[in-house]
Chains A and B, each alone.
Chain A
């Protein structure tokens, strides 16, 4: 963050951090309901795009019942912070997701967000719904490669110009004129690739911490000068869905919100949807009681660990991390990091690798970070400064004691 730019200074005094308005009043929701209903009617008139999967059939193919789907719809309605009366609309919108074209590009990343969707033990409803979206381009999933893939992307961008949602996974390396990452047969740099893909997009959705803030590629010393999508793309609606990997439920939530209302959800100052990133993990953590009681796991596998004590002393960053994993968990509520007995590493926060993920309380961190170890340096610097002051005082006191005997002392 530099404050030498006018825009940054303006931002500095108007910055708004997460504050969640969960109840906007009946009048607001009544009006929203009518507009959503109208939008769904309009979408129904459109034909499905390339993806002609039948949603009801796919659910049955995976051995799930309609009842599971309805349960999912009411949970998703709650997650989006909409009143329960919206449940039927959410269920309808989910079926209509194949009317929205999606282009998914990969930059500096491990494809972990795509993997998170693909590698669950059995597809959950979130994943089936992501199968259903009209995915026009996705390097990992498609059969095409090389010139063929490029052609496919160009065609998709041309055909759905101004309508498609662009999902971006991975950081954008800017160093060496962007040549740290190139893609395709023409060797286009990631930056150019992103600019080209974003130009015709209705909105850009940065998925995962790398796409959001630069993530691990941007960790100190950041040799490739990587940044997030929002630092590169200007003048487009951007939605960030950080976390490592981003929770598929939140991806579905954002697309659903777009399908349902035709607009992007309410965002916080870091452009994250408030329905997902409005609260800290700590606020809804199942181990919060142990935090307040001062009951901490002291080391892995000790008596406290067996009793599900708080993981704060092993570096849990739940108190500093905004995300909804303590509420919705992963893989449709199966489990989440703190549930399996290891602390939060703050993976959905900026610079998480340097400033959150050191698995120690903030004052004991010794990972190499921007200044050579963030809190550790702070404490050592502080203690060093204190020692220096003490030595200085000692010298002055000793000198005073000796010199004080001088006859001239205080007589000047």
Chain B
């Protein structure tokens, strides 16, 4: 879309990043609806139907694991792009140096003063948003590791359809989540698999809370900054007033 007179178009997200975002959105909805069913089956099947036609829990688990694997792959891509993207350098905003800390507080002050103080360049991804996304990625990595730990025990014999390396690798990479979860959940001196499950369930709630604020904040920005922020994730660009942008550059 062409920029309105007096505005300049700022390209923010490439097509691949936008595709990954929407894949993640639908994966997350699927993971939560199926995950809640796996935690406590909240709808019932018809008792008269033969079991072979139903397979309801199995389908729920199938979908849950499928989106988990999709999440794994998108996470690897995002991890790669964070450090090696040609167009964006989000990692540089993650380092807690003086400049980033100042930007972070400037954006936070802008939010809590209801857009009274806008003393930062809003054309590019700011430190506040980057830190918020880092929280998401951190929770997501924990979700994937605990999820794979819970998953690998279904491959109890150490075999899988793709070979023995897969459960072996999952044990190697995720077994440490048991003592860490045990430490977080508390209880007796010996950590147990249930601690991982509790932690996995708890992290789901943290992610839901994250999503709620994320959506709210993006919509709020769009309304108050008047820079079309919401279209970053649809069209890939936002629009900044030419004057504002230049002023900010000077500052």
Contact = CB atoms under 8 A, between A and B. Distances in A.
Contacts of B171: 16-17, 19
Given A397-B216, A397-B220, A15 B54 contact: no
A410 B190 contact: no
A175 interface: no
B243 to A, nearest CB: 12
B47 A292 contact: no
Contacts of B114: 396, 399-400, 403-404, 409
Given A298-B44, A397-B216, A12 B179 contact: yes
Given A313-B41, A378-B202, A400-B224, A362 B197 contact: yes
B156 A20 contact: yes
A295 B49 CA distance: 10
Contacts of A329: none
Given A1-B182, A375-B198, A227 B189 contact: yes
Interface stretch (A70-78, A103-111, A125-133, A384-392): A384-392
A354 to B, nearest CB: 6
Contacts of B119: 412
B187 A355 contact: yes
B102 interface: no
Contact of A374 (B116, B193, B198): B198
Contacts of B41: 294, 296, 312-313, 361
Given A313-B41, A410-B118, A214 B189 contact: yes
B85 interface: no
Nearest to B190: A350
A393 B212 contact: yes
A346 B119 CA distance: 57
Given A317-B194, A412-B119, 13 more contacts: A1-B191, A3-B183, A17-B193, A20-B157, A292-B55, A295-B47, A295-B54, A363-B201, A393-B213, A396-B220, A404-B224, A408-B116, A409-B114
Interface of B: 36, 39-41, 44-45, 47, 51-52, 54-58, 60, 111, 114-119, 149, 152-154, 156-158, 167-168, 171, 175-176, 178-180, 182-183, 185-195, 197-198, 201-202, 204-206, 208-209, 212-213, 216, 220, 223-226
Interface of A: 1-3, 8, 11-13, 15-22, 213-214, 218, 220, 222, 227-228, 231, 269-270, 278-280, 283, 289-296, 298, 303-304, 307, 312-313, 317, 320, 346, 349-351, 354-356, 361-364, 369-371, 374-375, 378-379, 381-383, 385-386, 389-390, 393, 396-397, 399-400, 403-404, 408-410, 412
20 contacts: A3-B179, A214-B189, A227-B188, A279-B156, A290-B51, A291-B57, A293-B57, A294-B55, A295-B45, A298-B44, A312-B57, A356-B194, A370-B187, A374-B185, A381-B205, A386-B209, A397-B220, A403-B114, A410-B226, A412-B119
